[in-house]
Amino acid sequence: MTRIARVHARQIFDSRGRPTVEVDVLTGDGVLGRAAVPSGASTGSSEAWEMRDGTGEYAGLGVRTAVGHVNGEIARAVTGHDVREQAALDKLLIDLDGTEHLARLGANAILGVSLAACRAAADSLRTPLYRWVAELAGTAPGLPMPMVNILSGGLHAGRGMDVQDFLAVPASAASLDEAIEMAIRVRSAAADALAARGLPTLLADEGGLSPGLETGRVALELMVEAIERAGLTPGRDVVVAIDVAAHSLWDAAEGRYHLAREGRYADRAEMIEMIAGWTEDFPVASVEDALDEEDWQGWTLLTERLGDRINLIGDDLFTTDRRRLEQGVRLGAANGVLVKVNQNGTLSGTLDVIAAARAAGYVPVVSARSGETEDSFISDLAAGTGAGQIKIGSVRTSDRMAKYNQLVRIAEDPALGFAGMTGYPRLAAGLAP
């Protein structure tokens, strides 16, 4: 009996101590599928709409409303539905909501049910979750290469640095275990390098270090130093990925980007120039959200300039939305897409975006949010779809480690290969010495 017998949602708390939704889906055969919903800070405007909380007297209000929707209207609609019919369930949820961005019931309410049902189906079928995801997606499973947050800025670190993330990609790792170990070495070497300079080693939202360095170049120098301190060779053993999160730098009134830490503004051309300079002088393999989410023309120019050498990932640009991705493909904007389940709102919609990315030759990067829980669904999502890359955050806090550790468990399956650097098909030969 794989039909839904009961749905129950509750409010739990995420890694920032903010309320979020957790959903239990119980099937007739007594199987429990549970999922918790993540939440972003540097969000794109076109994301599915979560019912979010304010602070003070509004604390808990948005999430409690979403929880109420799951326990009332959604539970009534999905009870009796077969959890193995994921696509039909997700369509039912989208139709029930009836709005474009899932604003009526809340994308967090809908996503919680979608993911919990998927887990219940996998458990009822006694199939590992990643294998069930692979079956739903029609993909060959495989282990992703992680990109691991080392230095944080932007909205994840009190704007201590202008750029949001500097990440390590353990390029020469031959296995997932080795990749995680290398990233841990780089992160702890980065902490040592900062301490040696008398700089703070405070933790940011994703467990990365938040030293408040003044420019991107200084941060990149620190990355190179950390890789070397870890006994590894920059450009060969470890390459660097960056998430500029440029939407949160965009000053609409000025029509330019505000690099507040540097004390200057930059226009589109100056941003492209700055980033191109980084890729020339440092072993940078991937840059996410280099420009604002609505600067399609700028994205096309950026992609013409750098797209044959590095990965250019659209996060706020695409918001895991198929139509926005298709627009990007038409315009030649970016060559990769960040995949976040809660930007989309359902599992089926997310799988659809991964399939569309692949069909267009765009690299999919499955990603966590800056607000996370112990839920490790995205590890199974990345492995099940063989996405090739995953971005979880740093290797320092339990919300992130839950996902790395789930990947370690999945890696026990001898049938699964490790993606290595296959997710970086355009990597410049010049990166390695």
Please give the positions annotated as active site.
Answer: 206, 340
Which residue, chain included where needed, has tokens 């290969």? 417
Q: Does 206 bind Mg ion (CB under 5 A)?
A: no
Task: Select the residue interacting with ligand 2PG from 97, 315, 352, 375 (CB under 6 A).
Answer: 315
Q: Which residues contact 211 (CB under 8 A, 6 or more apart)?
A: 151, 160, 161, 194, 199, 200, 201, 202, 222
Q: Which one of residues 279, 303, 370, 389 is an interface residue with ligand 2PG (CB under 6 A)?
A: 370
Least distance to ligand 2PG, CB of residue 40, Å: 3
Does position 205 bind Mg ion by CB under 5 A? no
Task: Give me the least distance between CB of 413 and ligand 2PG, in Å please.
Answer: 27
Taking the complex as a whole, how short is the minimal distance between the CB of residue 320 and ligand 2PG, in angstroms? 11
Q: Cβ of residue 368: shortest distance to ligand 2PG, in angstroms?
A: 6
Q: Which is nearer to ligand 2PG, 182 or 246 (CB)?
A: 246
Per CB under 5 A, the list member of 24, 237, 243, 293 interacting with Mg ion is: 243
Q: Please return the burial class of 433, using the count of CB atoms within 10 Å of its CB with bins 0-12, 13-18 and 19+.
A: exposed
Q: Of the listed pieces 53-61, 227-235, 242-250, 383-391, which binds Mg ion according to CB under 5 A?
A: 242-250
The stretch among 73-81, 209-217, 348-356, 363-371 that binds ligand 2PG (CB under 6 A) is 363-371
Phi then psi for 100, rounded to 5 degrees? -65, -40
- Please name every residue paired with 365 in a beta bridge, in sequence order, or none if there are none: 338
Exactly one of 84, 309, 324, 369 binds ligand 2PG (CB under 6 A); that residue is 369
**Choice between 38 and 128, CB closer to Mg ion:** 38
- By CB under 6 A, is residue 43 in contact with ligand 2PG? yes
User: How many secondary structure helices (H) and strands (E) does the chain include?
Assistant: 14, 14
What is the Cβ-side half-sphere exposure of residue 408, based on CA atoms within 13 angstroms? 11
Distance of CA 193 to the CA centre of its chain: 27
The residue at minimum Cβ distance from ligand 2PG is 40
Structure tokens at 421: 């650097």
**How is residue 422 annotated by DSSP?**
G
Report the partner that residue 66 touches, choosing among Mg ion, ligand 2PG, none (CB closer than 5 to 8 A by kind): none
Show the binding pattern over residues 179-208: x = contacts ligand 2PG (CB under 6 A), - = does not: ---------------------------x--
Helix (H) or strand (E) holding 4: strand 4-13
- Work out which of 2, 42, 344, 348 binds ligand 2PG, going by CB under 6 A: 42
Detail the residues annotated as belonging to a binding site for Mg(2+): 243, 288, 315
Q: Does 97 bind Mg ion (CB under 5 A)?
A: no
CB closer to ligand 2PG, 320 vs 348: 320
Q: How many CB atoms lie within 10 A of CB 192?
A: 15
CB atoms within 10 A of CB 57: 7
Three-state secondary structure call for residue 260: coil
Q: In the complex, what is the shortest distance from the CB of residue 377 to ligand 2PG, in angstroms, rounded to a whole number?
A: 15
Footprint of Mg ion on residues 295-324 (CB under 5 A)?
315
Binding-site sequence positions for (2R)-2-phosphoglycerate: 164, 340, 369-370, 391
> Which segments within 97-220 are labelled E, that is strand?
145-152, 165-169
Helix ranges restricted to H, 149-285: 176-196, 216-229, 268-281
Closest distance to Mg ion from the beta carbon of 162 (Å): 14
SS3 418: strand
Cα 155 versus chain centre, distance: 15
Nearer to ligand 2PG, 40 or 349 (CB): 40
Answer for the pair 235, 280: CB distance below 8 angstroms, yes or no: no
Q: CA-CA distance, 227 to 234, in Å (whole number)?
A: 6
Beta strands 256-259; 336-339: pairing state: unpaired
Return residues touching Mg ion (CB under 5 A). 243, 315
Return residues touching ligand 2PG (CB under 6 A). 40-43, 165, 206, 243, 245, 315, 338, 367, 369-370
